[in-house]
Structure formats: C-alpha cells, structure tokens
C-alpha cells in the first residue's frame, strides 16, 4: 500500500510490515498504524523513525533502551499481555520514544523513561506502557567508561 508521509514522501508499505498500536500512543490515540524506518545501510541502527500511517505529519524517533544504557524488566498486566497476543519473551522488544528538550537555550535529545513502547515483533502489535513511578528494576550503565 502507498502511504504519504511528511518525512519520507510517498512510500510503499507492505501490510505485513505495519505495527498496530490498538490504543494508540499517549496524546495520539487516533493514530494506530505505524511503520518503522531507519538509516539506509545501517546494519544495527541506533534509532528508528516510527511513522504514523494514519497521520502523515506524525512521526517519532525511537531507540533501543540498551543502546542508551537502560535495561527494562517490565511486568505486563493480563490485559496488556492479551493486547500483545501473549507473546513469547524472545518476540518482545522494548523501545524508548525520544524527545527534544530545551533548557537554558540548549537543546538535547532525551528518552521518555516512564512510557516505553512494548512491541510483539512476531504479531506486529504494540502498546505504550505508562509507568506512574519509576521502579528499581530499571538498571543504568555508564556507557562512557568500561565496567
């Protein structure tokens, strides 16, 4: 199917490559279908663009939290597990939405730690897991120095 996007122009998207978020994303509940795009030629890209197929002007930069030094251990509710179609552990990936933050006139890119995306890569369905509080089961590593 052909889809018009703001960032990539008109692109062909195979229906089996669409990721569905049945509840949408926080603040963007009407956008439920997305595609992933990344830098051409990158074998292991550092970040991806999650492009809405329902709104051509909506796209998010997302990243694997381990590439940023984070490791999530998330407990899913029965409803979340059902929404994700009861995936096997190896079929689940967790991603962080990145956003631009400005302080004192300086811009930086920051991950949204409290609302990671959880995606069943086999069924191509996902959800945004909003956590009210940070739990101690998120570990941080210092990527700047050897451990």
- Dump pLDDT digits (tens) for 82-125: 999 999 999 999 999 998 888 888 888 888 888 999 999 999 99
Residue 4 tokens read as 């018009």
Q: 68: Cβ–Cβ under 8 A, 6 or more apart, which residues?
A: 96, 111, 143
* Architecture (CATH level 2) of domain 2-140: Roll (2.30)
**Extents of the domains making up the chain:** 2-140
User: Which of 90, 80, 86 has the alpha carbon at shortest distance from 21?
Assistant: 80
Q: What is the pTM of this model?
A: 0.83
């Amino acid at each position: 199917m052909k889809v018009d996007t703001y960032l990539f122009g008109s692109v062909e998207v195979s229906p089996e490559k669409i990721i569905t978020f049945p509840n949408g994303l926080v603040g963007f509940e009407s956008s439920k279908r997305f595609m992933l795009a990344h830098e051409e030629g990158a074998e292991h890209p550092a970040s991806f663009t999650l492009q809405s197929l329902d709104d051509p002007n909506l796209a998010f930069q997302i990243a694997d939290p381990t590439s940023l030094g984070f490791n999530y251990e998330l407990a899913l509710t029965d409803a979340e597990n059902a929404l994700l179609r009861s995936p096997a552990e190896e079929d689940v990936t967790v991603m962080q939405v990145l956003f631009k933050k400005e302080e004192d006139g300086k811009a930086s890119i920051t991950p949204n730690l409290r609302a990671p995306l959880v995606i069943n890569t086999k069924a191509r369905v996902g959800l945004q897991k909003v956590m009210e509080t940070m739990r101690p089961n998120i570990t941080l590593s210092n990527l700047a120095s050897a451990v």
